[in-house]
């Protein structure tokens, strides 16, 4: 059975080389050691001659696809583009940046709107009455006591207090430190 180069298969199927590799990985296909030895030598010779990973046609196709989708695409469209190109979602942004392709104002505003919705949701998860009660209780109690009292994790209590600028009193910190030293001494 003949072993094909990934670049040749990519050209044959009209896809990216990374897509061919991803397909092969999913199907559990591997190339023979003999083919890899031969390809390794060929690759070194190409690199020494200034060979490129992608052909000019492949690079143009990638640039065109990014230019079509990236400026106005929503998150789902960008994820589909990443899969089509055989890269991660963050790589699509990096590639667009290198190509000088920017997001449109409308797309930026839409993504900021989604972010604002998430931020509002986080800010309103605990109402003003809970925050006020936290202001009274947190400064003089341990995080464990606060977690049990408010019914949330210690980390959540700490983050909520930190977000609202609520701190432990110096007296409480001193008492906790003294208790810790007493425990260590036995």
Sequence spans of domains, the chain: 6-48, 56-116, 126-185
Share of the chain above pLDDT 70, in %: 83
Q: pLDDT digits over 10-28, tens only?
A: 888 888 889 988 998 899 8
Q: What is the pLDDT of residues 98-127, one digit of tens each?
A: 899 988 888 877 776 665 555 555 555 677
Per-residue model confidence (pLDDT) at position 52: 59
Going by pLDDT thresholds of 50, 70 and 90, the confidence category of residue 48 is very low
- How many angstroms separate the Cα of 134 from the Cα of each of 125, 137, 140, 171? 14, 5, 10, 18
Cβ count within 10 A of residue 79: 14
Residue 137: is its pLDDT beyond 50? yes
User: Per the confidence metrics, is the pTM higher than 0.75?
Assistant: no
Residue 2 has pLDDT above 90, yes or no: no
pLDDT at 95 over 60: yes
**Rounded-to-integer distance, Cα 34 and Cα 31, Å:** 8
- Copy the structure tokens of residue 95: 């590639």
């Amino acid at each position: 059975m003949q072993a094909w180069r990934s670049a040749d298969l990519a050209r044959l199927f009209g896809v990216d080389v990374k897509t061919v590799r991803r397909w092969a990985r999913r199907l559990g296909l591997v190339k023979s050691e003999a083919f890899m030895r031969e390809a390794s030598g060929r690759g070194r010779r190409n690199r020494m001659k200034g060979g490129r990973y992608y052909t000019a046609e492949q690079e143009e196709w990638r640039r065109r696809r990014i230019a079509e989708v990236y400026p106005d695409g929503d998150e789902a469209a960008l994820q589909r583009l990443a899969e089509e190109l055989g890269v991660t979602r963050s790589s699509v942004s990096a590639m667009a940046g290198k190509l000088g392709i920017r997001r449109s104002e409308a797309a930026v505003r839409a993504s900021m709107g989604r972010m604002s919705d998430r931020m509002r949701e986080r800010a309103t998860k605990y109402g003003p009455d809970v925050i006020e009660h936290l202001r009274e209780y947190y400064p003089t109690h341990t995080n464990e006591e606060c977690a049990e009292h408010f019914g949330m994790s210690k980390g959540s209590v700490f983050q909520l207090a930190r977000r609202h600028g609520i701190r432990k009193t110096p007296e409480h910190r001193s008492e906790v430190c003294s208790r810790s030293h007493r425990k260590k001494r036995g």
